[in-house]
Structure 1
Amino acid sequence: MNAAPGPLSVYIHVPFCAVRCGYCDFNTYTATELGGGGSQAEYPKNAMREMDLTLAADRAAGYEYEQVSTVFFGGGTPTLLPADELVAMLDHLRTLIPLADGAEVTTEANPDSVTRASLSRLADGGITRVSFGMQSAVRSVLATLNRTHDPERVPQAVAWAREAGLDVSLDLIYGTPGESIDDVETSVRAALACEVDHMSAYSLIIEGNTAMARQLRRGELEAPDPDDMADKYELIDDLATAAGLSWYEVSNFARGEQQRSRHNLSYWRGHDWWGIGPGAHRHRDGLRSWNVKHPSRYASMLATGALPVADSEQVSAEDRLIERLMLELRIADGLAVDVVPAQTRPMLAVHRDRGHLVPEALERGTAVLTRQGRLLADAVIRDLVP
């Protein structure tokens, strides 16, 4: 039995939401959308069964992980499940592979899906960090996004989390149709007023099969303007920087290295991870697989003793290189110049001269995006892909 090549992260997908948001394209379900198996009530035991089967499959393939470095409960809304059930899944994982000392254990949450008592239970059970889906502090923007929480609930939820000893991140979305730059400023200032040490700000991407995409096609909403989105990003960056937060990935800001999301960094750096739950993806040393999406199909496969895998692929060396270029250039630590293929490496100087890459970092052998480069990250990456 050989040790696996690096640290292991574990993502546990909890695919349940109280209401489906109009912009959301994630694999999530409301209670009324679930028929037959796969209910919220039976989900924890199914997830724990999948952990057992995943460990057995890894061992059969000759992989043995010494410890888990990060855990992330994502969704959906993980905190729709009772806190005891999230803790039970974490405890079960611990019986299979020990958690590293100081492991980061995050759960996503909606501000209206937690209480003081539930957050305290999560902290007592080993969760170390909570990421609240704030999205906006402006009621009209939240309504367009189909978000149901009261924006005044956010500071209360943050205070409860801090009282429990949890690290806190707030997630924002900018670029919602009808959202003004003043709305963005209101939201960012409200998030920063909570004195959190981590903030994510994602530009709204309207996927083709969502309710919001249908509204756009019917002319009920206006598509975001790229120049307006750029102005909003620069405002977010200015406000975050003034509050003592620095970007460490294009859409993520932290007060210091200790406040960065180590779990997300594990993805951006190409480490191995388990994906537990319906539709979850996993990666092991270049082998990528993904689960069936529907909770009832997921449950029925587990009931037969089978891993609920829909398909898998062995990622080629060429594709792994492309992914490395795409992901590592987006983080503030940058991309090593010697990773860039020889045929596209001259484009580094071109983008330096265009103001997209930090000259001093490039001289030291690392490609780091400037703020202008962050706005054009996709274009820079395209020029580096062979």
Structure 2
Amino acid sequence: MNWRAALLAACLAVPTGLWAQDVSPAEAAASALEDLSAARDLLEAAKGGRERVAALSETVRAYEAGLSAVRAGLRRATIRERELSLKLAGQEEEIAALLTVLQARGRAGSPSLFLHPEGALGTARAGMIVSQMTPALNAQADALRETLVEVSTLRQLQAGAERSLQDGLTGVQDARTALSQAIADRTDLPRKFTEDAVKTALLIATTETLEAFAAGLGEISGGPLETAANVDVFDQKGALPLPVAGRVLRRAGEADAAGIKRPGVLLATRPRALVSAPVAATIRYQGPLLDFGNVMILEPKSGLLMVFAGLDVVYGRTGEVIAEGAPLGLMGGKDAAIGEILTQVGDGTGSDLSQSLYLEVREDNEPVNPESWFRTQRED
């Protein structure tokens, strides 16, 4: 079974009414398939370095969306299959009685079998009772048949899940490898400035906070930057997409387990998830910083900084101007093995969101709530 067929089967096999989200499984599957198709078309048509990077980025995002759709479909399929199996187990006596009656009716080859010993009147009464019972028996039999068919379909879906997931994981890993190579080979991005490595090292060594580092960025570039795109980013305020697929784990000002409050939001993501630029911007800094791990700092416009901290791999070079949607890097961790994914699905857990990305926005070197810029929500 190829990836598209597997994705379609996994998403469409679950009845629409079983999904908690507003989006039906058919719509989710169609969207994921369109993303995959468009990404592959872009990849085949890509010739230049920048085109290839964009195509591969779309491919990675499409695979991530497809795998997420399959996980969600399998999780709901597993829950529904358990629900139906428990229901059938609790109705064993009722089902046995129903089957006995149906078998008796099936053996009745002649109306004479329904003759009543009290004569014609008794026979008429018995016939009326049987005629009233028949629609109810048929309805029960139809309901039982539908339940058994649904259970069989769900079990077939679960049995074929391993190959579907393996194809998807292999595809996304290949796409990430190709993306990293394409970015390494890229030489045609415009640059606003060239980083002074000595000044950068000194700034990192002499600052102890993100605020101090952000304030000193102007010295690295030699002055303020112009807008990285013709579109004014402030026109997009409140409507920017999150840089990575996931959910809000902690909002601005909420204390963590140690009681520390930060002005940014913490996003829960899957391992190796692709982090993308929400808007066209200049890379002001990329690399390790303080205790934040690998950090990417973008400047869409002079005085506006967007900080993304906690990446495992960062792409690009300081001073480069990148487009909206450009890849910034990858989250850490390792893709779950097939057995782990199926266990998570079976348990109904959300433990696959094991990585976290910190997002902070600063206007004129003052932190602001990122939710004033980004569309955020608690759930996937």
Category of TM-score, reference length = shorter chain? under 0.3
- The normalised TM-score by structure 1 is 0.24
- The normalised TM-score by structure 2 is 0.24
Larger strand proportion of the pair: 1
Query: Which structure: larger Rg?
Result: 2
